[in-house]
Amino acid sequence: MKDYTREQLRPLSPWAYFGLQILFSIPVIGFVFLIVFSISGSNINRRNFARSYWCVLFIVLVITVVMALLGASSGLLEQLKEFLAGITVSPL
């Protein structure tokens, strides 16, 4: 087991979590801080929170892609139905 110092194990206050969420929400700066805090070892709780934020971002991305594909496929199916309904087959 790795030995951690008291500073590394210091718990974060609720306001720290709130501030980190706001910081991570800033488009470019938040992304940089998210990467830095995810690999930093200065505070284990902050590092774990940043890593959990990555997990949430990944889950949201997967759900968004699935919803976009479902929406696009339903639109394509409607267009295909309209196209097939417009085709007339002439008897021989």
pLDDT along the chain (92 residues), means of 10: 87 97 96 96 95 97 92 78 77 68
55: its two tokens: 């997990």
pTM listed for this prediction: 0.77
CB of 54 within 8 A of CB of 17? Answer: no
Sequence ranges of the domains in the chain: 14-86
CB of 23 within 8 A of CB of 32? Answer: no
